Amino acid sequence: MSERIVVVTGASSGIGEALAPLVSARHQVVLVARRQAALEAVAARCQGRGQVNVADVSKRADVRRVVEESIARFGRLDVWINNVGQGITRLPSELTDDDLDEIMQVNVKSALYGMQEVLPHFKGRGEGHIVNVSSMLGRIPNALIRSAYCGAKHFLNALTATFREEIQQTHPGIQISLVSPGIVHTNFGLNAMHGGPDSRSLTGAQTAEEVAQVIAGVIESRAPDVYTRAGARDRVVAYYSSIGSDPQ
C-alpha cells in the first residue's frame, strides 16, 4: 500500500509539528492535539493532505472519538503515532501524588488509550502499525530533575514491548514500534510541570525535524525499536554494563 492513513498525536508543536508535514508528502495525515488554531497552522503545511481533529488524548473518550471519526472519513487507519508527552522538573524525593498522577496520565495512559482503541480496527484488518515516541530517559535515567518522566518512559517502553509480544502471537501483521529521541530543540523544557531549563539551551540536542525524519523512516521500515541518534544504543549498553555486577 503506497498511501497510508497516519494519525499523529501531539501534532500542534515540537516533534509532531515537524512530522505531520513530512509524512503528508506520501500519506494522508490526521493531526490530533488540543489547540485548534495551532493544528490548523500545521495542516496548512500538509499539502492538502492534513485533517485536523481537536482532542485531548489523555482522555480515553477523546481517543475513541478520533479513531471512529478517522475511520468514518477515510475508511481505514494504517498507522497510529503516540507522540504526546510532558516533562516535569522535580527531584525524586520531592515528588507528590499529583505529580505522578499527571505525568503518568499524559505520558503512559495517552499511549495506552491509543494502542487499545485502535487495536480492534487493526485486528479486523489483520494489519496496522503503532509507533510510540519515548525518550532516551526511558533507557538511561540520568536526569535527576526528570525523575518521574524517566519512570513514565521506562513504563512506556515496557508496555510497548509486552503489547507487541501479546498482539503478534495472534496478529503478526500488526507492528508496535518504539522510537527513543534524546534532547530535542523544542519547548519541552519550558512546558515542563514546575518549569525547567529550555531544551534549546542544552548541548547535544537534535532538531525536531531530524527526529521527525527518523519517525517517518519507521513508518516505512516498521522497525520495532529505533534510536534517533547514531551511537545511542551503545550508550545504553555502556550505562547498564557500568552499573551491573555478576553474582559473587
Residues labelled catalytic: 149
Tell me the CA end-to-end span of the chain in Å, nearest whole number: 54
In 93-240, the DSSP E strands lie at 128-133, 174-180, 184-185, 206-207, 225-227
Q: How many CA atoms lie within 13 A of 206 on its CB side?
A: 21
**Virtual torsion, Cα 237, 240, 243, 246, nearest 10 deg:** -100
Residues with Cβ within 8 Å of residue 61, at least 6 apart in sequence: none
**Residue 180 φ then ψ, to 5°:** -120, 95
Question: Which residue bears the cell 513514565?
Answer: 152
